Amino acid sequence: MGSEMCIRDRNNILNQQITIKDVLTLFTEKDDRDVFIQDAVNLFLQEKKLRARGGTVNYYSYNLKMIVEFLQAKGIHTIRSINQSTLDSLVYYFKGRGNKNASINKRVNALLAVIHFCEEKNLISPLELKYERLPEEQTKIETVDMDDMRKIINYLPALSLRAQAIILLLFTTGIRTSELINIESDNIDFKNLTIYLKFTKTKVARYTPILDSVAKILMKLIQNNNGSKWLFPEKDSHITPLAVKSLLRRIKKALNIEVLSAHKLRHLYATQLLKQGTDIKTVSRLLGHKSIRMTERYLDLTDTEIFEKNRLNNPLYLTSFKG
């Protein structure tokens, strides 16, 4: 089948909600299967919207938009036109724009995800493409300074009960903003001091422990919520991530704090647990990480901290040696 027929028929489904069936009707022979890159991206994103969270969809949309623009400028319009040389050109292009290796890896992997999607849906015959990830620099995890955190704790009495609960949950559990705002009052077990997190980034529900002092504040908050099912209600639903961000921004300005965000509080929670000797598997489970490799990023201790740990925890102390 020629590309002219493909282009002509494609005009009938352009700018519409397309389906796998729409794309397959453009091709008659199995070995001739192909799909326009933009159509493949649209199908891929449609499926992501059904299965993934908004942040994931936005991540793919952002990266794939740049990739499609690059490929179209190169005269590459269909998936089967992509080859190993295309991937090399893509890497060279983004390097020329000053992108870091981590960003380039994400963009190439976004394109490969679309290609694999087309293969799985039998839109194309398998492409033998290989991509060797570029080495990535380990960026130092940025956290809220512990002295600044003490300022925030001292400032809590000046805040509303809701604001206190938000700050304390973020700081003492390390949960994500998306997990925080989706907590329902019934998810809190005040007897066992746990919160059941149903809506998580990894889509795997988990329990997170809470401190007794925090539980008391949550109890008072629920009593003031007029029967809403949400811990942090807002009109007919729950508060938004923007509301959490705005609260932290106000505190940051009021206390003249340099670094403060929900994610930086999560980083502080993790690094402090590790520095206090909590094993990495436990920290990984508390954070809800899919892989322990994600948690290893928090192990960037200074030489002084490493030497101090050796001094305090050296196995020699388990013997009777006096010296």
Q: Specify if 18 maps to a domain.
A: yes
Which helix (H) or strand (E) segment holds residue 274: the answer is: helix 262-275
Domain boundary among 68, 102, 120: 120
In this structure, are 270 and 163 located in the same domain?
yes
Structure tokens at 280: 């990495």
Q: Specify if 49 maps to a domain.
A: yes
CA-based nearest residue to 219, from 251, 247, 195: 195
Contact yes or no for 119/127 (Cβ under 8 A): yes
The CATH number for 104's domain is 1.10.150.130
Q: 21-55: buried (b, 16+ CB within 10 Å) or exposed (e) per residue?
A: ebbeebbeeeeebbbbbbbbbbbbbeebeeeeeee
* pLDDT 10s digits, 144-184: 999 999 999 999 999 999 999 999 999 999 999 999 999 99
Domain boundary among 86, 120, 154: 120
pLDDT for the residue numbered 138: 63
Separation of alpha carbons 183 and 122, rounded Å: 40
In this structure, are 221 and 260 located in the same domain?
yes
* pLDDT 10s digits, 115-135: 999 999 888 888 888 888 888
In this structure, are 173 and 264 located in the same domain?
yes
Q: Compute the residue count for the chain.
A: 323
Structure tokens at 203: 């889509």
Instruction: Please count the structural domains in the chain.
Output: 2
pLDDT for the residue numbered 316: 65
In this structure, are 188 and 50 located in the same domain?
no
In this structure, are 114 and 150 located in the same domain?
no
Q: 177-211: buried (b, 16+ CB within 10 Å) or exposed (e) per residue?
A: bbbbbbbbbebbeeeeebbebebbeeeeebebebe
Q: Which amino acid is at 272?
A: Q
Q: Specify if 132 maps to a domain.
A: no
How many C-beta atoms lie closer than 10 Å to residue 57's C-beta? 17
* pLDDT 10s digits, 63-117: 999 999 999 999 999 999 999 999 999 999 999 999 988 889 999 999 999 999 9
Q: Specify if 313 maps to a domain.
A: no
How many C-beta atoms lie closer than 10 Å to residue 265's C-beta? 25
Q: Which amino acid is at 277?
A: G
The CATH number for 181's domain is 1.10.443.10
In this structure, are 98 and 191 located in the same domain?
no
Cα 235 off chain centre by? 27
In this structure, are 110 and 194 located in the same domain?
no
In this structure, are 94 and 160 located in the same domain?
no
In this structure, are 103 and 190 located in the same domain?
no
Q: Specify if 315 maps to a domain.
A: no
pLDDT for the residue numbered 19: 65
In this structure, are 47 and 173 located in the same domain?
no
In this structure, are 150 and 289 located in the same domain?
yes
Q: Specify if 254 maps to a domain.
A: yes
Q: Specify if 273 maps to a domain.
A: yes
Give phi and psi for 33, each to the nearest 5: -60, 135
* pLDDT 10s digits, 9-67: 444 434 456 665 555 555 444 455 788 999 999 999 988 888 766 677 888 999 999 99
In this structure, are 43 and 177 located in the same domain?
no
Give the structural domain span for 233. 146-301
pTM of the model as a whole: 0.61
Q: Specify if 72 maps to a domain.
A: yes
